[in-house]
Amino acid sequence: MTNKEILRRLLHAISPYKTKLIISMIGMVFVALFTGAQTYLVKDLLDKIFFEKNEDYLHILTIIIVVIFGIKGVCYYVYNFLLEQVGLSVIKDFRARVFQHIHIQPLSFFNEYPTGTLISRVISDVTLMQQAVSNSLVGILRDFFSIIVLMGVVFFLNWKLALFSLAVLPVAAFPIVKFGKIFRKLSTKAQEETAQVSNMLYETITGNRIVKAFNMEKHENKRYNKQLDTLFNVTVKNAKYKCLQHPLMEFIGGVAIALFILVGGKGVIDGSSTPGTFFALMTSLIVAYDPVKRIGKVNSVIQQGLAAAARVFTILDTEPEISDRKEAILLPPFKKTIKFAGVHFRYNDETRALADINLTVPAGQTLAIVGPSGGGKTTLTNLIPRFLDVSEGSITIDGMNIRDVTMRSLRNQIAMVTQQTILFNDTVRNNIAYGS
């Protein structure tokens, strides 16, 4: 899945909150405009106060600065809070969608995705998406508007120096693009290894009796530490590139500022520019370069978020193999027989579990199915509530094929007691009455 497609789907998820998003962006524009005004006032501060000694303008400038910072602070709060709210709302929606989608999947889905992997997708991956949407994308939008306004101030003051400074931007963008591809690849790998850690943790905690019974504590510790080492190596490699990006951006910025001082300083010396104009230009460029560096810094977080989003969308794009037919009807109350007619079942890897099962169970009769482990007893019972679907043949209840009725009406007439006791984190009463 490409970054473009992921971003398109994320934007679609944000669309229900577009009003808050538009208000936030208006707030960002005002913050950027006031930031540009602050840098422009450096010119008047030097030329009209320090050099012209204009005391009246000093009082006016003081009031203007207070007003600018006050309004800017209000705008900053409004857009930041609204965007944070939008990001958290989108993540809440994704968690609910993934949870709902997982529960409509058949048993084969849970064989493909271990429990630890699914927990990692719902918790860890969606959290990385939250960091990318709520924090990083907010910062990028804010910095984008700031760069545009500040470059506008530079062009207004001296268009020749502005063109000179723009020539540096492609050089500054190179590490952002280059490292972005590396971050995406490493982030995907790190999230896969995190899911493996979650799987091992879930297996050993739920299977702790088996671990203890066979004295396998040391073996499991060794296996878990090996997986932690793999995850550690991937994250350290990611940190290496993340730490390299910042000093590289600093160096490029330092070279750009040094060249600007050389060219702009000559203009002050030969009288073609005032000191106020020079320092206003310098301040604007320094302030504008900070957002460029921040964009590079959050790039790794965004790539992590995009990689996590791709994994979440993989779950959401998985269509359930078993679903109700459009013409499915309600199953009437069971009265006569359950019948298996020439039933075959094969798993996705074509492993045959059942072959040519013919069975009739009259109502009121108790039937015990016995056999060795792996003989297909559980598979056979899972076919009746359509946790799995037959590969060949049919199962009928009172002559009605179970594929022709809704799964809800089918399962409403089935009570199941499993070998493994499962208690939900709720009251005893609600556990006993579960499903009633």
Tens-place pLDDT, residues 375-388: 788 888 889 888 88
| Residue 295 host element (H or E) | helix 275-316
328 lies in some domain: no
325 lies in some domain: no
- Note whether 355 and 253 are same-domain residues: no
User: What pLDDT is attached to residue 159?
Assistant: 73
How many structural domains are present in the chain?
2
110-136: pLDDT as tens digits: 877 877 778 877 887 887 787 777 666
346 or 111, higher pLDDT = 346
Give one word for 356, left, alpha or beta, with left for phi > 0 and alpha for psi -120 to 50.
left
54-101: pLDDT as tens digits: 777 788 888 888 898 899 899 888 888 888 888 888 888 888 888 888
Q: What is the mean pLDDT of residues 288-313?
A: 76
Please report, rounded to a whole number, the percentage of residues in the chain having pLDDT higher than 70: 92
- Note whether 173 and 89 are same-domain residues: yes
- Note whether 414 and 366 are same-domain residues: yes
Give percent helix, percent strand, percent coil of the chain, each to the nearest 5: 70, 5, 20
- Note whether 183 and 299 are same-domain residues: yes
Q: Is the pLDDT of residue 296 over 80?
A: no
User: What pLDDT is attached to residue 70?
Assistant: 92
Band the pLDDT of 396: cuts 50, 70, 90.
Answer: very high
What value does the CA radius of gyration of the chain take, rounded to a whole number of Å?
32
User: What pLDDT is attached to residue 134?
Assistant: 66
- Note whether 267 and 344 are same-domain residues: no
- Note whether 292 and 405 are same-domain residues: no
- Note whether 105 and 234 are same-domain residues: yes
- Note whether 375 and 299 are same-domain residues: no
Q: Is the pLDDT of residue 267 over 70?
A: yes
**Helix-helix angle 18-44:137-157, to 10 degrees:** 30
Residue 27 CB partners (closer than 8 Å, separation 6+): 75, 76, 78, 79, 82
- Note whether 305 and 355 are same-domain residues: no
Q: Extract the tokens encoding 289.
A: 């370069």
327 lies in some domain: no
CATH code of 17's domain:
1.20.1560.10
- Note whether 275 and 377 are same-domain residues: no
247 lies in some domain: yes
User: What pLDDT is attached to residue 375?
Assistant: 77
What is the spatial distance between Cα 33 and Cα 28, in angstroms, rounded to a whole number? 9
- Note whether 165 and 237 are same-domain residues: yes
Domain that holds residue 251: 3-316
